[in-house]
Structure 1
Amino acid sequence: MASPRTSGALELCKTTITAATSVVAAAMLLRRVAADLLPVGTPPLLGSLLLLPPPSSRRHAVVIEEYDGAYHNSVFLAARAHVSTLLAAAPSVPLVIKATLPRGADQIRFSMRPGTDVVDVFDGAELTWRLSSSQGKRSPRGGGAAREVFKLSFDAKHKEMVLGAYLPFVMGRAEAAAREQRQAKLYSNERGKWRPVTLRNASTFATLAMDAEQRRAVVDDLDRFLDRKEYYQRTGRAWKRGYLVHGPPGTGKSSLVAAISNHLRFDVYDLDIDNVRSNTELRKLMIRMKNRSILLVEDVDCALATAPRRGADGRSDETSPAAKNREVTLSGLLNMVDGLWSSSGHERILIFTTNHVDRLDPALLRPGRMDVHVHMGYCGFGAFKELAATYHGVDGDEGHPLFPEIEALLREVDAAPAEVAERLLATDDADAAVEMVAKMLRNRKAGDAEDGSGYVKQRLHVGPRRPVPAPSRGPSSARRMVIDEAMLRGTGRRGRGGLRGRGRGRGRR
């Protein structure tokens, strides 16, 4: 049994330990409060006197490497694009940055040099980006590629905000900037592969010789298509839209394709069916297309003339000499347009052009394959005024003394927009250019074989014709959107242009 002296010593020891524990807990709490309240740049001496932890222990970091295995790290590319915008708007502090002008670009781009920092402020928090460089693994031949690494450091209390909001914000901002600044590509198929070049066609809807109502209808349809991702998912349809652009030569069909590409900022895949050896190769080309792109088949009537259709026995019709050397069939082309393989990507526009719509197979024209029919007709007076304003600044409201005569002539004779543009570009004198257009139309009305400029009117619909199928009288026909050519302004006596939508995928917004 312990003596009274021993019991008193034990009680004193317990009391001392309890008091010391309370003091330590209070000190740790005060340190934590001081660490949260004091700014990041607190002098180290003051932090030592207050027994604060070093600043490095109160900050977290995210390391973003340039490569993810053998591929570029998309987060690193987004971070580099975001940091470049910070450098351009950074305050006047000593900062060493790189300025480059990439090939094909029209703006100088700024980037960090390894070993430099830049501070970003997001939701009231300061975040520091630092770029460093490390030597990659050496190859057997010696040497190694330098790899860059971004280190994003921030206070520990902002961890959830950085991971849940800031980094997704950086990714979204970089993707939006890339879509705005990217240069569209034009792809052509060669030996089963796509070969890209930069698409530098400057045609836009503002410069296109097109009736105002027809232009507005096409633009509205394209914008509506982009905004209907949830609709296509809900209805189980492939997110695509088919356009059949038809009309005489020189009426701007190719320019319309370029204008659609520039409006949507989509790449264009120009499919030459003559260079496709089989349906299997055709499917591979479809799979290799990027999303947010345009598939273009020009002069589809000529392409289909050499693409036999498979019969009921599964064999292709080899009556034509050209069909004997190739295995691409019309059925394969139709499956690409509206079959299972059409769902291999999303946000795609399919555009077929032709000079002879009456020669196309009815199977290609049915609803669901070519959703919108755009007729690029001869130049109307409204389109002529837009051309005159674009090329020579002739105001369409004030007009020109020859405008009434030209308007009357365009009602009686046919002139392709390309012909009118050729006359307007022949001289820098606006009056002389308008006079050249009037002269061309006068000569054509007089029945001259040539219009004084070497133009010989082309005959259309030469050769065997295929009857155009009658429009359906079923329930689906009530949903079709039709813009009648006679309703368009400035179309004149003959139908100058029109757009007809077949209603596929047109639900309520």
Structure 2
Amino acid sequence: MELLSQMWSLLGLLTVLQNILPAQLLSLLHSLWESLQDAITPYSYFDIPEFLGSSAINPNDLYRHVHLYLFHHLLLHPPSPPPRLTLSSSSPSSPPSFSLSPNHSLHDTFAGHRLLWTHHSDSLHDSLEERRFFSLRLPKRHSHAILLPYLSHLSSSARNLTITSRDRRIFTNSSPNSWSSVPFRHPATFQTLALNPNLRSFLLSDLDSFAAGREFYTRVGRPWKRGYFLHGPPGSGKSSLIAAMANHLQYDVYDLELTRVPHNSALKSLLLQTTPRSIIVIEDIDCSLQLAGERCSKKRKADDDDEGWERVTLSGLLNFTDGLWSCCGEEKLIVFTTNYKGEVDKALLRPGRMDVHVQLGACGGHEMREMVERYVGGDWEEMMEVAERWMRNGAVMTAAEVGEVLLRNKGDGEVAVKELVGELEGRINGGCSEELEEEWVGEEGEEEVMVGREKRRRGRNGCAVREASCMWEKRVRFLTRLGSFTKSESGRRGV
């Protein structure tokens, strides 16, 4: 009881001294007390204020990194018992987030050492404002060895959390010198794409290697960028593959429309505005501008001289992809697409500009099975074997065409697969054989037969584009010709 009385007396004396002594003297006494504590304690303490300097103007990035890191730490490794947390929400539609409440602590471990974070919040004298900061407690004997590596680990984790949690966007050059954007929410992933398994594995490995290649690209002295050239017929999945790449890497997408760029200087300006961790896309590069074979045309060169600088040139696009300006910003992918590879100038496709060439063609057996399983499910082994037999005989369908057949019959798997098999069967010689065509030469003419064969040959190579009513026209023509053939055979035999 006597000890308690003495403590109350001491507290009363401290209160009186605090009201009597000048603020400068109290601050000095407080500093001396902290110095005495630092001298006898086995720990080192480091303060990380919310703002730099005495005014609350310049925010401290390290404070924000600690805040994000501790938030992530609480999600992955909730302590027991949990500390007091502060809940907050930026909008009614967003889920609440939580942070360490003021004047509470949280333990962490690094390199076998136990660390302690404490969130402080002090009211300023004669002010309603608060001074917030984090303090880090480290073992004094090892503080110099682990402080910088630990802060580097903390900042790296915070940056990754910022990238993965932010809303990604897709940009377009709506004006000659600036971008506009909307949220990017394309659902395509490598798991939903109809891709050859070997191609899928290669692309995933290549993208992951690129994303983790900061030190490698620095060591070899190359800009941290990579070019992908996607080519194939319409509907083969080029745009969906770009969306899957962006979703896999958590990158933004810049969809560059070259026809809206007036000259090379505007192209450079747009490039400088792109951010790291992004994909720059130029679709249908062969149609965007008259770039193919530009260096070989004297007339084109004369036209360029007449137009002056009011045009994006092949040279400007080459500098965009592989020149000095291409190193502005890091961790970027540049993707070109085209339906016709032969129409693109070879200067754009050499290694260093387009590093990976991906050919997307007709839907194969494995890809078709994946799509059937994903769209309608069920076991349709017998019908799928028939479908694959038609494909081996030359029937060609792109992933978009297969998806359309399955989509309009998604409620009935049997009808969907039967229609898919029938569609493939109808693409084999228009529903008939070349032997029957030989019998029609006298009636329809050899030229028409040769044209039909050429169309089928192109279809087998995945280069012909089928019109919507083409199959039905072929079936009607087949039935008509088959009737004529039957009558002529009957006449020959005297029936």
Asked if structure 1 preserves the Cα contact closer than 8 Å seen for 2:108 and 2:115, the reply is yes
Aligned partner of 1:336 in structure 2 is 320
Asked if structure 2 preserves the Cα contact closer than 8 Å seen for 1:184 and 1:262, the reply is no
Asked if structure 2 preserves the Cα contact closer than 8 Å seen for 1:126 and 1:154, the reply is yes
The alpha-carbon distance between structure 1 residues 108 and 394, as it changes in their structure 2 partners (threshold 3 A), is farther
**In structure 2, what is the Cα distance between the partners aligned to 1:421 and 1:190?**
32
**In structure 2, what is the Cα distance between the partners aligned to 1:71 and 1:269?**
31
Aligned counterparts, 1:125-144, within 5 A: 125-132=114-121
Shift of 1:307: 9.8
The alpha-carbon distance between structure 1 residues 264 and 113, as it changes in their structure 2 partners (threshold 3 A), is same
Aligned partner of 1:167 in structure 2 is 151
Shift of 1:273: 1.3
For the residue of structure 1 that corresponds to 2:286, the secondary structure is helix
**In structure 1, what is the Cα distance between the partners aligned to 2:219 and 2:74?**
43
Q: Structure 1, residues 281-337: CA drift from partner, whole Å, max 9, x if none? A: 211222222223211111111112279968999x9653799x789432121011111
Asked if structure 2 preserves the Cα contact closer than 8 Å seen for 1:242 and 1:370, the reply is yes
Aligned partner of 2:391 in structure 1 is 410
**What one-letter code is carried by the residue in structure 1 that aligns with 2:106?**
V
Shift of 1:170: 1.7
**In structure 2, what is the Cα distance between the partners aligned to 1:255 and 1:431?**
27
Aligned partner of 1:384 in structure 2 is 368
The alpha-carbon distance between structure 1 residues 83 and 182, as it changes in their structure 2 partners (threshold 3 A), is same
Selected match of 2:183 from 192, 198, 209: 198
Asked if structure 2 preserves the Cα contact closer than 8 Å seen for 1:226 and 1:347, the reply is yes
Aligned partner of 1:188 in structure 2 is 172
Aligned counterparts, 1:234-383, within 5 A: 234-305=219-290, 318=303, 326-383=310-367
Give the number of the structure with larger relative contact order, counting CA–CA contacts within 8 Å between residues 6 or more apart.
1
- 1:112 corresponds to 2:124: no
**What one-letter code is carried by the residue in structure 1 that aligns with 2:385?**
P
**In structure 2, what is the Cα distance between the partners aligned to 1:343 and 1:418?**
36
Selected match of 2:422 from 414, 439, 444: 439
**In structure 1, what is the Cα distance between the partners aligned to 2:287 and 2:266?**
20
**In structure 2, what is the Cα distance between the partners aligned to 1:353 and 1:196?**
21
Aligned partner of 2:403 in structure 1 is 421
Asked if structure 1 preserves the Cα contact closer than 8 Å seen for 2:396 and 2:462, the reply is no
Asked if structure 1 preserves the Cα contact closer than 8 Å seen for 2:256 and 2:282, the reply is yes
Unmatched runs of 5 consecutive residues or more in structure 2: 1-34, 432-458, 464-495
Asked if structure 2 preserves the Cα contact closer than 8 Å seen for 1:279 and 1:329, the reply is yes
Shift of 1:81: 1.2
The alpha-carbon distance between structure 1 residues 376 and 340, as it changes in their structure 2 partners (threshold 3 A), is same
Shift of 1:278: 2.1
Asked if structure 2 preserves the Cα contact closer than 8 Å seen for 1:98 and 1:111, the reply is yes
Shift of 1:244: 1.1
The number of residue pairs the alignment matches comes to: 389
**What one-letter code is carried by the residue in structure 1 that aligns with 2:388?**
E
**In structure 2, what is the Cα distance between the partners aligned to 1:87 and 1:370?**
43
**What one-letter code is carried by the residue in structure 1 that aligns with 2:399?**
P
**What one-letter code is carried by the residue in structure 2 that aligns with 1:422?**
E
The alpha-carbon distance between structure 1 residues 102 and 165, as it changes in their structure 2 partners (threshold 3 A), is farther
Asked if structure 1 preserves the Cα contact closer than 8 Å seen for 2:51 and 2:59, the reply is yes
**What one-letter code is carried by the residue in structure 1 that aligns with 2:326?**
S
Aligned counterparts, 1:46-195, within 5 A: 54=37, 58=41, 60-68=44-52, 72-88=59-75, 89-93=78-82, 95-100=84-89, 109-122=97-110, 123-132=112-121, 148-154=132-138, 156-157=140-141, 159-161=143-145, 163-191=147-175, 192-195=177-180
For the residue of structure 2 that corresponds to 1:260, the secondary structure is helix
**What one-letter code is carried by the residue in structure 2 that aligns with 1:414?**
V
Q: Structure 1, residues 124-179: CA drift from partner, whole Å, max 9, x if none? A: 434132142778xx9xxxxx997743333456555425623432232232234344
Asked if structure 1 preserves the Cα contact closer than 8 Å seen for 2:189 and 2:248, the reply is yes
Q: Structure 1, residues 434-489: CA drift from partner, whole Å, max 9, x if none? A: 123223333444749xxxxxxxxxxxxxxxxxxxxxxxxxxxxxxxxxxxxxxxxx
For the residue of structure 1 that corresponds to 2:382, the secondary structure is coil
Identity of aligned residues (%): 35
Unmatched runs of 5 consecutive residues or more in structure 1: 1-51, 139-143, 449-491, 497-509
The alpha-carbon distance between structure 1 residues 402 and 72, as it changes in their structure 2 partners (threshold 3 A), is farther
Q: Structure 1 length as normaliser, TM-score?
A: 0.66
Per mean C-alpha deviation after superposition, the further-off stretch among 420-429 and 250-259 is 420-429
**In structure 1, what is the Cα distance between the partners aligned to 2:296 and 2:425?**
52
Asked if structure 2 preserves the Cα contact closer than 8 Å seen for 1:311 and 1:317, the reply is no
Higher helix fraction: Structure 1 or Structure 2? Answer: 2
**In structure 1, what is the Cα distance between the partners aligned to 2:256 and 2:276?**
16
Q: Structure 2 length as normaliser, TM-score?
A: 0.68
**In structure 2, what is the Cα distance between the partners aligned to 1:156 and 1:318?**
73
**What one-letter code is carried by the residue in structure 1 that aligns with 2:401?**
E
The alpha-carbon distance between structure 1 residues 130 and 375, as it changes in their structure 2 partners (threshold 3 A), is same
Asked if structure 1 preserves the Cα contact closer than 8 Å seen for 2:66 and 2:155, the reply is yes
For the residue of structure 1 that corresponds to 2:121, the secondary structure is strand
Asked if structure 2 preserves the Cα contact closer than 8 Å seen for 1:112 and 1:131, the reply is no
For the residue of structure 2 that corresponds to 1:249, the secondary structure is coil
